[in-house]
Amino acid sequence: MRSSLHTTPRPDEEPVTVVWGELPPGQEREATHAALLRAAAELTGAPAHRIRLDHAPDGGPRLTGPASGLRVSVSHTRGAGAVALSRHRPVGVDIETIRPIAAGPLARRWFDAACADWVARSPRNDGVRAFLWLWTQKEAIGKARGHGLAAGGLTQPLALPADTLTGPTGRLRPLPDDPRTACAVLPTGSPRHVLALAVADG
């Protein structure tokens, strides 16, 4: 994992650590889990070998040992992985590799009408990126809330950019229907991946 980002939900709150990187195909899961343990060790000052990755009752990842108090999230896709860590607030992270998909039909099938219309208005070459700009945020929000894409996660309203492109990146914005939860697409410097982070009140 090659890149590290630190983002602050609000000026008075502790930053969230996000680590992501491109990975050899077939090694994504193992490498992402190893990156989580390294990041947790750096954040807590504890030896990495004393930290273990376990699963919470809802299936989400959790750390044991000296890092047991951290809130964490993990995501991996073909060729890339990402982790997010926070000391106090639930976090969700999702990363997707840009690839050929039927963005318009998929948006109509899974998203609410406003999001599907936004994808449809995107220039032809930006449709896939626009779809994944939405999908990764919805996935990250579901992880931060602890229910994934269930409970209406795919129809979660988002603040849509007016330009019908991929929208602003890097700034966590409150959800239109829930100011306690914020999300953003983060800059990666890679045209091949879309990375989103969500932070919720615990």
Q: pLDDT grade, residue 4 (50/70/90)?
A: low
- What CA–CA distance (Å, rounded) separates 43 from 48? 10
Tokens 């860590």, located at residue: 85
Kindly report the pTM of this predicted structure: 0.91
Please state, rounded to an integer, the average pLDDT across all residues of the chain.
88
The conformation of residue 29, written as its DSSP 8-state character, comes to H
Report the 10 Å Cβ neighbour count for 102: 12
Q: pLDDT grade, residue 129 (50/70/90)?
A: very high
Domain count of the fold of the chain: 1
Report, as an integer, the average pLDDT of 6-25. 78
Largest CA distance in the chain: 50
Using DSSP's 3-state secondary structure scheme, residue 57 falls into coil
- What CA–CA distance (Å, rounded) separates 80 from 148? 20
pLDDT of residue 7: 66
CATH of the domain at 56: 3.90.470.20
**Residue 67 near residue 48, CB atoms below 8 Å:** no
Residues 6+ apart with CB under 8 A from 171: 184
Q: Residue 123 sits in which domain range?
A: 3-199
Is the pLDDT at 9 greater than 60? The verdict is no
DSSP states of 102-171: -HHHHHHHHS-HHHHHHHHHS-GGGHHHHHHHHHHHHHHHHHHHTSTTTTTGGG------TTSSS---S-
Is the pLDDT at 78 greater than 70? The verdict is yes
Closest CA to 37 of 56, 22, 52, 24: 52
- What CA–CA distance (Å, rounded) separates 60 from 72? 9
Express as a percent the part of the chain with pLDDT over 90. 65
Is the pLDDT at 81 greater than 70? The verdict is yes
